[in-house]
Chain A
Amino acid sequence: MAMNYNAKDEVDGGPQCPPGGTAKNRRPDNTAFKQQRLPAWQPILTAGTVLPTFFIIGLIFIPIGIGIFVTSNNIREIEGNVFMYYGLSNFYQNHRRYVKSRDDSQLNGDSSALLNPSKECEPYRRNEDKPIAPCGAIANSMFNDTLELFLVGNESYPTPITLKKKGIAWWTDKNVKFRNPSGGESLKERFKGTTKPVNWVKPVYMLDSEPDNNGFINEDFIVWMRTAALPTFRKLYRLIERKSDLHPTLPAGRYYLNITYNYPVHSFDGRKRMILSTISWMGGKNPFLGIAYIAIGSISFLLGVVLLVINHKYRNSSNTADITI
């Protein structure tokens, strides 16, 4: 009731009664801001005003699109470093419960999290009363096929292509985000008290022979842990480095792919693929962006023409006073 009683009014004589003669003037300041007269750009959207925008969009987008398209199509040439991917389809790595099922602290080498992983890892948190390292569904479902590439030359025996294991993960992942637990001489000791994920054949400290690519900082593992955005995805598997400028990295010829088949995808109608690709300045081969740019640019251009017609016709047919720009 009396809550909002403005006590000031009582003394000043209410809002209605001006206090004092000319000394206190209630006239508001005559500034551009307070009077809402700030200088302003006032575009009016009509065919005439907008059509330049459409033409400009068209003129910019179409060349960009052509550029991208050409770049993307050039990727076919197996020159420079070749990237070897494995691809999975119908694999829902972005499933909510799947994405959550990991413990970043454990992967970062935190010793307490190592032995007592996060609850998020359930039901892949503990196995036979031992904490699982690395815990969680993501780690548990890690891709474990082995791919080997051979060049079948003129001779009868194939030459294996050198596949580089390192350098396939983000630098920050390998050096900041993922760390092996500290302490202990050997990696095995550091992972003492933990057990391997249920689906794994080998424990985490036996993923690779090289010590800087073993344990949590194994790059295959790191790559796997970066959960894919969409059900159809590829992940970088190996690098094939170019040896010399003269020869192509992968010369033309017959190749032979040796797959050690471990990973079951049939059960969920999944498919596995192996992709060899070079990348350009804009990443792997994807014609979409180029086409999209060309398409949007053309549409924009067309719409611009439509607007031009409208502008022209309307200006002629009705009084010109109404459409001034």
Chain B
Amino acid sequence: MEREPAAAEEPGSPGRRRRRRRRGDGRTRVVRSNLLPPPGVEDPAARATKGARRRRRGGAQHLADNRLKTTKYTLLSFLPKNLFEQFHRLANVYFVFIALLNFVPAVNAFQPGLALAPVLFILAVTAFKDLWEDYSRHRSDHEINHLGCLVFSREEKQYVNRFWKEIRVGDFVRLRCNEIIPADILLLSSSDPDGLCHIETANLDGETNLKRRQVVRGFSELVSEFNPVTFTSIIECEKPNNDLTRFRGCMIHDNGRKAGLYKENLLLRGCTIRNTEAVVGIVIYAGHETKALLNNSGPRYKRSQLERQMNCDVLWCVLLLICMSLFSAVGHGLWVRRYQEKKSLFDVPESDGSSLSPVTAAVYSFLTMIIVLQVLIPISLYVSIEIVKVCQVYFIHQDTELYDEETDSQLQCRALNITEDLGQIQYIFSDKTGTLTENKMVFRRCTVSGIEYSHDANAQRLARYQEADSEEEEAVPRGGSLPQRGSVGSHQSVRVMHRSQSTKSHRRTGSRAEAKRASMLSKHTAFSSPMEKDITPDPKLFEKVSECDRCLAVSRHQEHPLAHLSPELSDVFDFFIALTICNTVVVTSPDQPRQKVRVRFEVKSPVKTIEDFLRRFSPSRLTSGCSSIGNLATSKATHKSGSNFLSTLPNDSTLFKLEERLGQPAAAIASNGYSSGAASWAPEHTAQEQKLELEQEQERELRYEAESPDEAALVYAARAYNCALVDRLHDQVSVELPHLGRLTFELLHTLGFDSIRKRMSVVIRHPLTDEINVYTKGADSVVMDLLLPCSSDDARGRHQKKIRSKTQNYLNLYAVEGLRTLCIAKRVLSEEEYACWLQSHLEAESSLDNREELLFQSAIRLETNLHLLGATGIEDRLQDGVPETIAKLRQAGLQIWVLTGDKQETAINIAYACKLLDHDEEVITLNAESQEACASLLDQCLHYVQSRIPCSTPEKTAGNVSVGFSPLCPPSTSTTSGPSLSLVIDGRSLAYALEKNLEDKFLFLAKQCRSVLCCRSTPLQKSMVVKLVRSKLKAMTLAIGDGANDVSMIQVADVGVGISGQEGMQAVMASDFAVPRFRYLERLLIVHGHWCYSRLANMVLYFFYKNTMFVGLLFWFQFYCGFSASAMIDQWYLIFFNLLFSSLPQLVTGVLDKDVPAEVLLTEPQLYKSGQNMEEYRPRTFWLNMADAAFQSLVCFFIPYLAYYDSDTDVFTWGTPITAIALFTFLLHLGIETKTWTWLNWIACGFSILLFFTVALIYNASCATCYPPSNSYWTMQTLLGDPVFYLTCLIAPVAALLPRLFFKAVQGSLFPTQLQQGRQLAKRPPKKLIAPKENFAQGHPPEEPRTESSEQKSISTSGPLSQDCTSQASWHIQQPACSPEASGEPSMVDMNVPLREDILLEGLSSQAPGSSMPREPILEGCPGDSKMKSTHTSRAAPLSSIFNLPNFSSLNWISSLSLVSGLGSVLQFSRSSLQMDKQDSEFLPSPPQPDQDLCGLSRQTTDYF
């Protein structure tokens, strides 16, 4: 294959161009070996396809080589191309247009060349920036392109070292361990005997686990080493695409045989070869056609809200400009008409002597005015904003508080231009797993065969991790596993203790030191902190497992070994076998080639070998060290003194020695840990063997590398029960048991996990029974449905049924505890069944198209009629600081919605744990089975919510009726926030609620709720919810997530935040900001977001002010120059004023100004609301600003005007002081606006003044005749000798700014905004920080008359003021009625949520008649209430409608029905309410409407049920 020239010569976007071209030719790519002789000397075998190949060769021109070229420009193309790109920005076109207009003599205002200067300057700055970026890209490209690798050379008949860029499609590449793959390569040969190769894809998707790749079928069987010369097959595959998870193709051998190619055969560029000594492959895609590069879409460009608003104001400015110009034009027309006929001396006729008609003059004047006043559209605004944003991003990057020590990573800003959006977020949509939680799975408890094993010691151990934060690093992993024994007797107490801890304990994720170590390891072995690995077994279960083991060891050579076990024990055994082998965990250990290879290639390996070596090797040693110790400690826990002693040993080499010395006794105790005595040992196991085995085990220190953390957790759990996965090969899995020894299962198939099936299965041949078994592991909802239907006739069936229901109960319990549940099931296949299935499966596997679909079908056929073994509960721990962060974000006025794919119970419990849901608040649960049910439920909820507005009391009791008794005594906080609503909705209901006709209602309901929890939602639903909120509520949204399922939501939201966690990089790639942990969101939003917003808002406002004020000066002058578009300010000053003289201070302020210090922002998150409400930059402030600018320009114009009235001053001698005055005014104005003055601000201001006078002096001295028409020779010099100049320069700025300063001072004293109060807080000694908090929350004392103040609004929204009094009143009325019950059972339901349904039913039956009892006094109270309310609320829903409607009874009825029947809908009102947000009610145009709707609807629903 020829080297095609296309790639090298073509700069720019080769990828795009090629793709376009490719569309023309076929849908497949054909790759042949480059080693085949050129066409002339073809071997006869290939001659048959000669014609075809010719064609191919013609079409093969487009194949990219491996040269990486990410630069946009070449030396030649830079200028035209860059200019072309810059002119995509409308503003640039506008400014160039204005500059070109200057070349028309009739209308020109400046020297044409000079007018071009600012535009050229801006263009040049941008071009330079682009050039620099391109150059750095070029340099990194160069570096990559010159990496080396081994390529087979036709001439030398061996592998020679080549640069990456020289690799071409069809080349054979040999890669060694730890080398980075240079292109997408089809794996043809591997040093691994099974033809496997492991790759690490961290560079590609961030997943740190190893992935297995397989040699193309047919090549793995080769006995001798693969010889590229003999490779004559042709490869047909897909065109290059960016789908990382898909690759299809086939290889056509010479004999016409075809072999399918799948993604398992492809090594992707950017990945690293691991665990495999050497591989050989043929390059399929190279360079820009590799999947890695096609996947990289680079940073995104979003437009921030502030910028949108700014653009709108720019349009206002354009309008203003046009108005001014039109006014001027008309004025000039009239002026010309007046003076022309009078033959005035100063009237200049046309060049041909004819006089200018007024209309023409007006048109000319209009155009000239546009040129003169062009400053109104700030040319430097866009550039300045870009500069400021870059600096802001820099500072965010530099913040050490956002630096995560554990992962050694800091926050990344991937989108440079939406920093200020961070300060305006109103809604946060968060993923749960991996975002709120660690996504570090810890095995917590399990149930086998209907019996629950609570693993209390394990829970204790975990609790210890949380407490051990301050303890010494070394003691942590071992200390946890030791005292397990004592806990057996104290089951209950431990349990209670744990339960009471459960919410609190989530906060800490283990000691910092441990986490740090884990992070160091995570690069190498994923998911293996000691916390996850060292499971403490449950003694009862352990005993059972040992018993199985022993029994089987005894009976292993009999006919049916498993038959000797009781069904329960058999289940236990199968359960653990399934845990061990039903996964894709890769076992690695130090004796595998990894280390040998590394040493061998250390010198030659091309990629920074030493560093790589250090990076990968030292942590791995550490892992082996600590985990082996951990192992020992677990298995030999009885030997307390021994393990204590061990724990102090520094490293594992001594450990080995010690182990040898301890020898037999230790081994004996260890393997016999929980059995009754040594007597029952299997006779064939001698002590000698035991010792040997142990040593082997020690040597083979095992590390599990799993694709998902769940899997690793389960395997580690099984290992804790001495059922250790020791080896996994392509076709077999080995499990090591203490008595049985090593069991090798023949692995027939692995049906991998996918999110649709939600399960995975392995098909194995059992070594003991020789049966074919299917082990399935999956989500309980799925697996429970796939179980073998059991008849209730026989005893076994009944027993099974019982087990199932028990298991289901435990599953619910786990979910309530917030554990992730998995069901384990088994199926025994007969040979015939298997053969039958195998045939269809093989067909599916080898089919070229529709393969996925067929495989899916095949899997479904296999995974039926399962036998339930048990279930596991895995804890996903909360991340550090999540509850605190959520609380802070809440205080900051952010609505937090959690969108998770997890199940409802788990999600709710995590939500409680992270304080998203509060026990004081009411939870509305929306589970609907149909569209209609959903609609009616929504209506009821809406009505309920509505009715809370006028009078919250009756609903409170209703809420009590349905669920239980919430603590009715209002907490002290209720005066400010009050118990509020939360909404929980599941995926199916969400789908209904998102329908067009319901979305408004859903949204309205959701808006009333403090938090919303969407469970079981798909990625698409997540993005739909975000989209809905964004478009309907016009709110600023932020989505945060860590996994691929969050990508769509991240992309839809205004701001997407990715968590660079364990689940790969897709979320990060799609995000605008990437944070290492959820808790950094707090600082990112509350501090940096606020700063960025306030800085940018103030800067933009200042820009508008500055330009308007400057243009105002020119405009007022028009009244005194006959509207002739003359300017008293020298054209140089006019053009450079914005760009040079006055730009630096505002940039410094825009970058550095801190309106409120970070500490105050963090302690008073309410301050964030100023950004949400757009307080700093809203239309009103814009126009106030413009008015102030107009006033200031009036002052700055007329003071010099009057001072120089009727004097002999000339135009420019008069204009220069005005320029100076303007400069001083700008700086003083900025001074008033600047909140923090650092030395940089002072220097910038000084520099500005100095620059102006220096430039003026030099310019005025440089040339006597050069700059017509102004020609201000020696003007500044003269002025400097004129006292009037100084006097005007002193008085004008002061006079202009006095009002602003005065109003600022008055406002700051009388109606300080929250921000100002915050700043005052910062100045106070820290002791007093707490005292004014109340003042903060409540705004101002109510007796202050402040209806007219503008700031009041912002304050009253922060804390509900007026409603408080009334709601307070209603509290008092209601309290006596319900408090006895409330005090009786404060929050029983929360503690026992599984019983909730029962209680519900009980409550319904028992309370239905009595429910009117507590309501009566309230009924009396309510009218009074409503009178109070009606004075100031027009939206109060008519009370009568509430009482007329039997809504509560009907509601109860509905829910009770649905609960009994098990279908339909459940509506739970669990908590009582107080009041709702005031502004929310504005959402529905006519509040009574829903009530009326409900009238009808409730009737409908009644019918429905």
- Taking Cβ atoms with an 8 Å cutoff, the residues of A that contact B are 1-11, 13-21, 23, 25-30, 34-36, 38-51, 53-54, 57, 61, 64, 68, 85, 87, 91-105, 107-108, 110, 118-120, 122-123, 125, 137, 141, 170, 172-173, 176-177, 199, 223, 226-236, 264-265, 267-269, 281-284, 286, 288-289, 292-293, 296, 299-300, 303, 306-307, 310-311, 314, 318-319, 321-324
Interface centre among A44, A57, A61, by most B CB within 10 Å? A44
Q: How far is the CA of A8 from the CA of B908 in the complex (A)?
A: 43
Q: How far is the CA of A103 from the CA of B1228 in the complex (A)?
A: 40
Task: Check B1207–A284 contact: CB distance below 8 A.
Answer: yes
Give the contacting residue for A289; candidates B1060, B1203, B1269, B1312; CB below 8 A.
B1203
List the B side residues contacting A284 at CB < 8 Å. Answer: 1207-1208
Give the contacting residue for A53; candidates B344, B348, B1277, B1301; CB below 8 A.
B1301
List the A side residues contacting B41 at CB < 8 Å. Answer: none
Task: Check B1202–A321 contact: CB distance below 8 A.
Answer: no
List the A side residues contacting B140 at CB < 8 Å. Answer: 6-8
- With A39-B1238, A300-B1298 in contact, do A235 and B297 touch (Cβ < 8 Å)? no
Task: Check B351–A123 contact: CB distance below 8 A.
Answer: yes
Chain B nearest CB from A47 CB (Å) reads 4
Q: How far is the CA of A235 from the CA of B1210 in the complex (A)?
A: 10
Give the contacting residue for A96; candidates B288, B368, B408, B608; CB below 8 A.
B368
Task: Check A61–B1203 contact: CB distance below 8 A.
Answer: no
List the B side residues contacting A310 at CB < 8 Å. Answer: 1306, 1309-1310
- With A228-B1209, A229-B1214 in contact, do A282 and B1319 touch (Cβ < 8 Å)? no
Is B156 in the interface zone, CB < 8 Å from A? no
List the A side residues contacting B1205 at CB < 8 Å. Answer: 230, 232, 286, 288
Give the contacting residue for B1309; candidates A14, A199, A323; CB below 8 A.
A323
Task: Check B1211–A35 contact: CB distance below 8 A.
Answer: no
Among B445-453, B613-621, B935-943, the one that faces the other chain is B613-621
Interface string of B382-422 (1 = CB under 8 A from A): 00000000000001011110010101111010000000000
Task: Check A40–B1269 contact: CB distance below 8 A.
Answer: no
Task: Check A28–B1291 contact: CB distance below 8 A.
Answer: no
Task: Check A296–B1291 contact: CB distance below 8 A.
Answer: yes
Chain B nearest CB from A153 CB (Å) reads 30
Task: Check B1323–A42 contact: CB distance below 8 A.
Answer: yes
Q: How many Cβ-Cβ contacts under 8 Å join chain A to chain B?
A: 387
Interface centre among A68, A125, A292, by most B CB within 10 Å? A292
Task: Check A23–B395 contact: CB distance below 8 A.
Answer: no
Q: How far is the CA of A99 from the CA of B1060 in the complex (A)?
A: 66
Q: How far is the CA of A39 from the CA of B1316 in the complex (A)?
A: 19
Interface string of B1328-1341 (1 = CB under 8 A from A): 10011001000001
Give the contacting residue for A11; candidates B180, B298, B1208, B1309; CB below 8 A.
B180
Chain B nearest CB from A198 CB (Å) reads 10
Is B3 in the interface zone, CB < 8 Å from A? no
List the A side residues contacting B1452 at CB < 8 Å. Answer: none
Give the contacting residue for A108; candidates B299, B1154, B1264; CB below 8 A.
B1264
Give the contacting residue for A16; candidates B15, B144, B1068, B1335; CB below 8 A.
B1068
Is B812 in the interface zone, CB < 8 Å from A? no
Is B339 in the interface zone, CB < 8 Å from A? yes
User: Which A residue sits closest to B1277, measured CB to CB?
Assistant: A172
List the B side residues contacting A227 at CB < 8 Å. Answer: 1210-1211
With A38-B1152, A123-B348 known, 5 other A-B pairs at CB within 8 A are A2-B294, A3-B72, A7-B141, A17-B523, A27-B400
Task: Check A20–B294 contact: CB distance below 8 A.
Answer: no
Is B1278 in the interface zone, CB < 8 Å from A? yes
Task: Check A122–B351 contact: CB distance below 8 A.
Answer: yes
Task: Check A35–B399 contact: CB distance below 8 A.
Answer: yes
Is B1120 in the interface zone, CB < 8 Å from A? yes
Is B358 in the interface zone, CB < 8 Å from A? no
Is B13 in the interface zone, CB < 8 Å from A? yes
Is B607 in the interface zone, CB < 8 Å from A? yes
| 3 cross-chain pairs, A with B, having the tightest CB-CB distances, nearest first | A4-B298, A122-B351, A229-B1214
Give the contacting residue for A44; candidates B348, B1214, B1308, B1328; CB below 8 A.
B1308
Give the contacting residue for A281; candidates B147, B520, B1283; CB below 8 A.
B1283
Chain B nearest CB from A304 CB (Å) reads 9
User: Which A residue sits closest to B290, measured CB to CB?
Assistant: A2
Total chain B interface residues with beta-carbon distance under 8 A: 140
- With A4-B297, A26-B403, A296-B1294 in contact, do A42 and B408 touch (Cβ < 8 Å)? no
Q: How far is the CA of A4 from the CA of B1284 in the complex (A)?
A: 58
Task: Check B408–A18 contact: CB distance below 8 A.
Answer: yes
Task: Check B298–A120 contact: CB distance below 8 A.
Answer: no
Task: Check B1320–A324 contact: CB distance below 8 A.
Answer: yes
Interface centre among B16, B180, B1208, by most A CB within 10 Å? B1208
Q: How far is the CA of A241 from the CA of B736 in the complex (A)?
A: 121
Q: Which B592-612 residues have a C-beta within 8 angstroms of A?
A: 607-608, 611
Q: How far is the CA of A116 from the CA of B1177 in the complex (A)?
A: 56
Q: How far is the CA of A29 from the CA of B1294 in the complex (A)?
A: 42
Interface centre among B16, B1120, B1291, B1298, by most A CB within 10 Å? B1291
Task: Check A7–B144 contact: CB distance below 8 A.
Answer: yes
Chain A nearest CB from B324 CB (Å) reads 16
Task: Check B1298–A299 contact: CB distance below 8 A.
Answer: yes
Give the contacting residue for B1320; candidates A14, A93, A323; CB below 8 A.
A323
Task: Check B296–A95 contact: CB distance below 8 A.
Answer: no
Task: Check B1298–A303 contact: CB distance below 8 A.
Answer: yes
Task: Check B294–A34 contact: CB distance below 8 A.
Answer: no
User: Which A residue sits closest to B271, measured CB to CB?
Assistant: A10
Give the contacting residue for A1; candidates B109, B294, B348, B1060; CB below 8 A.
B294
List the A side residues contacting B1317 at CB < 8 Å. Answer: 322
Q: How far is the CA of A170 from the CA of B1283 in the complex (A)?
A: 17
List the A side residues contacting B105 at CB < 8 Å. Answer: 119
List the B side residues contacting A46 at CB < 8 Å. Answer: 1305, 1308-1309, 1312, 1316
List the B side residues contacting A306 at CB < 8 Å. Answer: 1302, 1306
Q: How far is the CA of A234 from the CA of B1207 in the complex (A)?
A: 5
- With A38-B1238, A286-B1207 in contact, do A61 and B400 touch (Cβ < 8 Å)? no
User: Which A residue sits closest to B1265, measured CB to CB?
Assistant: A104
Is B1295 in the interface zone, CB < 8 Å from A? yes
Q: How far is the CA of A94 from the CA of B1213 in the complex (A)?
A: 12
Interface centre among B405, B1074, B1124, B1239, by most A CB within 10 Å? B1124
Task: Check A36–B1152 contact: CB distance below 8 A.
Answer: yes
Q: How far is the CA of A53 from the CA of B1232 in the complex (A)?
A: 12
Q: How far is the CA of A93 from the CA of B399 in the complex (A)?
A: 59
Is B143 in the interface zone, CB < 8 Å from A? yes
List the A side residues contacting B353 at CB < 8 Å. Answer: 123
Chain B nearest CB from A314 CB (Å) reads 5
Give the contacting residue for B143; candidates A7, A35, A321; CB below 8 A.
A7
18 contacts between A and B (CB under 8 A): A2-B294, A13-B202, A14-B206, A17-B203, A34-B395, A38-B1238, A39-B1239, A42-B1236, A68-B1287, A92-B344, A95-B1124, A123-B348, A176-B1264, A177-B1264, A226-B1213, A296-B1298, A307-B1306, A314-B1310
List the A side residues contacting B1320 at CB < 8 Å. Answer: 44, 322-324
Q: How far is the CA of A43 from the CA of B1301 in the complex (A)?
A: 12
Is B121 in the interface zone, CB < 8 Å from A? no
Interface centre among A9, A97, A100, A108, by most B CB within 10 Å? A97
Q: How far is the CA of A103 from the CA of B1266 in the complex (A)?
A: 10
Task: Check B1203–A95 contact: CB distance below 8 A.
Answer: no
List the A side residues contacting B347 at CB < 8 Å. Answer: 95, 98
Task: Check A293–B1291 contact: CB distance below 8 A.
Answer: yes
Q: How far is the CA of A311 from the CA of B408 in the complex (A)?
A: 51
Is B1344 in the interface zone, CB < 8 Å from A? yes
Is B55 in the interface zone, CB < 8 Å from A? no
Is B1215 in the interface zone, CB < 8 Å from A? yes
Chain B nearest CB from A5 CB (Å) reads 4
Chain B nearest CB from A53 CB (Å) reads 7
List the B side residues contacting A107 at CB < 8 Å. Answer: 1265
Is B70 in the interface zone, CB < 8 Å from A? yes
Q: How far is the CA of A97 from the CA of B1210 in the complex (A)?
A: 16
Q: How far is the CA of A198 from the CA of B1236 in the complex (A)?
A: 63
